[in-house]
């Protein structure tokens, strides 16, 4: 129902994550933050910002001669959406095969197992789960 048809590319995701971290920020602040993490030229970063605005992932308000940018989409929501899209693409939409693939390939940490365990426990408590939605 919620229209999550934002198509954010790899490079754009890097920018979004910076902005989700920064909250409101000018392009200069975004550039500054990203020059630490990437090797992109400022121009490149500004291009990506512009594309994200056009896509509706960012909004801005003019502040003097600069713009203050802000994410107009929720981080968790976007993560969930792209995760679901990924699972659909690769694993027919199911979570378990994805996890199994990881486990089989040994690509996981004890923290991951702990997280899994936590999830399973939440949903194993008789009558105590919050999944009554």
By CB under 8 A, tell whether 98 contacts a copy of itself: yes
How far, in whole angstroms, is CA 101 from its chain's centroid?
22
Is residue 92 within 8 A of residue 85, CB to CB? The reply is: no
106 binds a copy of itself (CB under 8 A): yes
Cβ atoms of 29 and 66 closer than 8 Å:
no
Q: How far apart are CA 53 and CA 49, in angstroms?
A: 6
113 binds, among a copy of itself, DNA, none (CB under 5 to 8 A by kind): a copy of itself
x/- site string to DNA, residues 26 to 45, per CB under 7 A? Answer: xxx----------xxxxxx-
Site residues for a copy of itself, window 41-80 (CB under 8 A)? 76-77, 79-80
- By CB under 7 A, name the one of 4, 17, 22, 47 that touches DNA: 47
Asked whether position 72 contacts DNA by CB under 7 A, the answer is no
Size of the site for DNA (CB under 7 A): 24
- Which residue from 96, 78, 59 is spatially nearest to 3, judged by alpha carbons? 78
């Amino acid at each position: 129902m919620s229209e999550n048809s934002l198509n954010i590319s790899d490079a754009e995701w890097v920018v979004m994550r910076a902005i989700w971290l920064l909250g409101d920020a000018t392009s200069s602040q975004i550039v500054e933050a990203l020059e630490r993490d990437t090797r992109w030229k400022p121009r490149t970063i500004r291009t990506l910002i512009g594309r994200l605005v056009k896509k509706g992932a960012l909004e801005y308000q003019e502040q003097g001669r600069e713009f203050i940018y802000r994410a107009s989409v929720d981080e968790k929501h976007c993560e969930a959406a792209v995760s679901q899209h990924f699972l659909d693409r690769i694993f027919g939409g199911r979570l378990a095969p994805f996890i199994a693939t990881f486990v089989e390939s040994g690509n996981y940490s004890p923290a991951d197992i702990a997280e899994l365990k936590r999830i399973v426990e939440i949903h194993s408590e008789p009558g105590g789960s919050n999944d009554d939605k």
